[in-house]
Amino acid sequence: MTRIGLSRNALVARTFERLVAQLETRRHRAARASALFTRWRVAIFVTGAVAVTISAFADRARGGWIPLIVFGAVFLLVARSHGRLKSKIRRLDAWIALKRAHLARVRLDWSTVPPADHPAPDDHPYATDLDITGAHSLLRWLDTTISSTGRAELRRWILQPDPEHFHERRALVREMERLPLFRDRLILQAKQISPAPLDGGRVVAAVSQGRPPKLGFILALSLVLAALTATLLTASLAAGAPGYWVLSLIAYGAIFWFVAPQIATAFSQAVELEADLAPYSRVFAVLERRSYRTQPALRQVLEPFTSTTDRPSAATRRLAGLVGALNLRANPLAHLSVNLILPWDLFFAERYRKLHAEIADHLPIWIERLGRIEAASALGHYAATHPDFAYPDLKLPTDPSAEVALVATSVGHPLLPPETRVRNDFTLKGLGALSIVTGSNMSGKSTFLRTLGVNLCLAEAGAPVCAASWTSPWMRLVCCIRVDDSLDAGLSYFYAEVKRLKYLLDAARNTNGPPVFFLIDEIFRGTNNRERLIGSRHYVRALAAANAIGLVSTHDLELVKLEGESHRISTHHFRETVDERGLSFDYRLRPGPCPTTNALKIMAREGLPVPKESDAP
Tell me what pLDDT residue 173 has.
97
Give the list of residues 6+ apart from residue 512 with CB closer than 8 angstroms, or none: none
Tens-place pLDDT, residues 474-517: 999 999 998 775 544 446 778 888 889 999 999 999 998 899 99
Tell me what pLDDT residue 579 has.
64
Tell me what pLDDT residue 64 has.
67
Name the 3-class secondary structure at 486.
strand
Question: What number of other Cβ atoms are within 10 A of residue 240's Cβ?
Answer: 8
Burial of 422 (0-12, 13-18, 19+ CB in 10 A): buried
Tell me what pLDDT residue 61 has.
56
Tell me what pLDDT residue 4 has.
42
For 64, left (φ over 0), alpha (ψ -120 to 50), or beta? left
Tell me what pLDDT residue 486 has.
52
Cα–Cα distance, 115 to 105 (Å, whole number): 12
Cα–Cα distance, 174 to 384 (Å, whole number): 9
Name the 3-class secondary structure at 62.
coil
Cα–Cα distance, 569 to 541 (Å, whole number): 9
For the question of whether the overall pTM of this predicted structure is more than 0.95, the answer is: no
User: What kind and span of H or E run contains 493?
Assistant: helix 493-509
CB 256 within 8 A of CB 346: yes
Cα–Cα distance, 477 to 456 (Å, whole number): 8
Tell me what pLDDT residue 597 has.
67
Tell me what pLDDT residue 530 has.
84
The two beta strands, 569-573 and 576-579, are: unpaired
Tell me what pLDDT residue 426 has.
96
Q: Where are the alpha helices (DSSP H) in 178-330?
A: 180-193, 200-209, 216-239, 245-289, 296-301, 303-306, 312-326
CB 204 within 8 A of CB 154: no
Spans in the chain with pLDDT lower than 70: 1-7, 59-64, 210, 308-310, 485-491, 578-582, 596-601, 612-617
CB 499 within 8 A of CB 468: no
Tell me what pLDDT residue 503 has.
93
Cα–Cα distance, 519 to 552 (Å, whole number): 6
Kindly state the DSSP code that residue 308 receives in the 8-state scheme.
Answer: S
Cα–Cα distance, 466 to 450 (Å, whole number): 12
